[in-house]
Amino acid sequence: MIFEVKHGMTHAIFETGGKQYRVKEGDEIYIEKLNAEENEKIKFDKVLAVLSEENPKMGSPYVKGASVTAKIIKSGKAKKIIVYKMKKRKGYHRKQGHRQPYTKVEILKIAVRTTKSKEVKEDGT
pLDDT of the residue at 118 = 55
pLDDT band for position 122 (cuts 50, 70, 90): low
**Cα–Cα nearest to 19, from 11, 28, 31, 29:** 31
**Cα–Cα nearest to 34, from 24, 26, 42:** 42
22/85 Cα distance (integer angstroms): 35
pLDDT of the residue at 1 = 46
DSSP state of 107: E
Using one digit for the tens of pLDDT, what is the confidence trace for 16-60? Answer: 999 999 999 999 999 999 999 999 999 999 999 999 888 889 999
Give the number of other Cβ atoms within 10 Å of residue 65's Cβ: 14
User: Rounded mean pLDDT of the chain?
Assistant: 88
pLDDT of the residue at 74 = 96
